[in-house]
Amino acid sequence: MSGGANLPGAAHLVLAGEVVHLDPQSAAFQAMLDGWELQQRARFLNHEATIAPRLRLVRRFAEFTNEYPWQWQPAEAEAFLDHLRSRKPDFAFSTARGYQNALRMFCDYITDARYGWPVKCLDSFGQVPAQIFHEWNAIVHTSDYEGRPGRRPLTYDEVQALFDAADGRAEEIRARRKKGALAAMRDSTALKVVYAYGLRRQEACRLDLSDLRRNPKVLDYGRCGALFVRYGKASKGSPPKRRTVLTVPEFDWVVDVLSHYLDEVRPAFLPGKHPALWITERRGRLSLRRLDEAFEAARAAAGISEDLDLHSLRHSYVTHLLEFDYPERFVQDQVGHEYASTTAIYSGVSDDYRNRLVRKSLEARHAVLWESSSD
C-alpha cells in the first residue's frame, strides 16, 4: 500500500483487517461507504444536503444491480439511468447528471490507489473496482440551462394575479370565520417578500426578525430598508453565503406589506421570544414545504401554468430588475450569484423591454445623424 494510505477514508482505516467477517463482501461495501463519507467530511461537505443523498444513491444503485462495487460495469450504469427514465418520463437532465456525477465520484474514490481499495478487493475477491461512467455513456453538458422549458419568469400580470389570489384566499377564510386566516396572511406576505427580494426558499424560511435592516440612505423605509440573508446557497465545503439585499424603489410596496405583517399578523401567533420572521400556528418556523404549498395554492387559484414554481419568483425578480435598467453587477450582488453568467441564465426580459432598447438606440442614432447633417 502506498505512502498516502492514511488519507481519510483509506481502506485499512475503515475496515478492520484482523476481524473475520461473516459476510466479507457486505462488510467491505459498508466500509467503502463509511470511508467515502469520511473523505467527504474531511472536505467539510454538508452531511444532510450533500453526503447523505450521495450515500443513498450508491446504495440504491447497488440494490438495482444486485452486485458489489468491484463487480460494477458501465452496462449496469446505463441500465440504471434507463430504468429511471422509463419510470419517470420527465426525468430532468440536471437530475440525471447529478446522479452520474455522484456515482462517478464514488468510483473515483474506490479506484484511487491511495485509498487502498483496488489492492484490498483484488486480494479478497479477485476483482478490482473500475470507473463506470465515461465520455461515451455520460450526459454531455452542452447547455448553460437545462431546467424545464416551461419554467420562466412570471410576467407582471401573472405576479399581480398570484398575489391577488394569495390575498383572496386569506380574505375568504376570514370571511367564513374558519381557522387558517392568519396563516394565509402570513403565506401571502412571505410570497411577496420572496419576489421583492429575489430570495431562495431556504433564504426566505430562515429569516429572523433581526435580519430586517435599516438603510441609512433611505430612512423612509424604516426597518425594511434591507434584508440580511444569512443562509445563502453555499459552495461545496463552505458555510452558507451571506449578503444584504437592499429594498429597491420599484419594490418598495413591500415595506407596507411587511410592516402590516409585523404589527398586526405576526403578534397574533403569540410568538413569544421566537426569533423567526415567519411563525407557524404551533409557534415554530415556517417550513420549506409549507412555503412551496403556499405558492402552489396561489398559483392554482390564479390559473397560472403549473410549470411555474416558487423559484420562478426569483427568476422574475432578476428579470424585472434588469428591465428597470439596474446594472447587471447590482442585480448579481442582490441575488448572491458568484458569476454574472448565472444571473444571465435567470433573466428573460420581455419583448416590450427589448423593443424599448431598440427604440432608444434608434432615437440616439438618429439624433447623432441629425446633428451631423445640421453641421
Contact predicate 184/260, CB 8 Å: no
Q: What does the pLDDT read at residue 3? A: 41
CA distance 165 to 179: 18
Three-class HEC string of 271-330:
CCCCCECCECCCCCECCHHHHHHHHHHHHHHHCCCCCCCCHHHHHHHHHHHHHCCCCHHH
Read off the pLDDT of residues 35-51 as tens digits, 9 standing for 90 and up.
999 999 888 888 888 89
Per-residue pLDDT for 129 more than 70?
yes
Q: What does the pLDDT read at residue 277? A: 97
Say whether domain 156-358 belongs to CATH 3.30.300.130. no
The mean pLDDT value for 10-32 works out to 79
Give catalytic residues, as residue numbers.
200, 233, 311, 314, 337, 346
Task: Give every CB contact of residue 46 below 8 A, 6+ residues apart in sequence.
Answer: 234
Sort strands 241-246 and 212-213 into parallel, antiparallel or unpaired: unpaired
The mean pLDDT value for 330-336 works out to 92
Domain spans of the chain, in order of start: 11-125, 156-358
Read off the pLDDT of residues 186-235 as tens digits, 9 standing for 90 and up.
999 999 999 999 999 999 999 999 999 999 999 999 999 999 999 998 77
Read off the pLDDT of residues 295-324 as tens digits, 9 standing for 90 and up.
999 999 999 999 899 999 999 999 999 888
Lowest mean pLDDT among 85-99, 115-129, 244-258: 85-99
Q: What does the pLDDT read at residue 227? A: 96
The DSSP 8-state label assigned to residue 47 in this structure reads I
* Residue predicted with more confidence, 253 or 239: 253
Cα–Cα distances (Å) from 133 to 37, 105, 223, in that order, read 20, 10, 53
* Residue predicted with more confidence, 45 or 68: 68
Dihedral angle computed from the Cα positions of residues 96, 98, 104 and 105, in that order, rounded to the nearest 10 degrees: -170
Average per-residue pLDDT in the chain?
86
Backbone angles phi, psi at 324, to 5 degrees: -85, 5
The mean pLDDT value for 339-344 works out to 69
Element (H, E) at 118: helix 117-125
The mean pLDDT value for 101-120 works out to 93
> Per the structure block, which three cell numbers stand in for 238?
463552505
Nearest Cα residue to 61 out of 127, 105, 121, 22 = 105
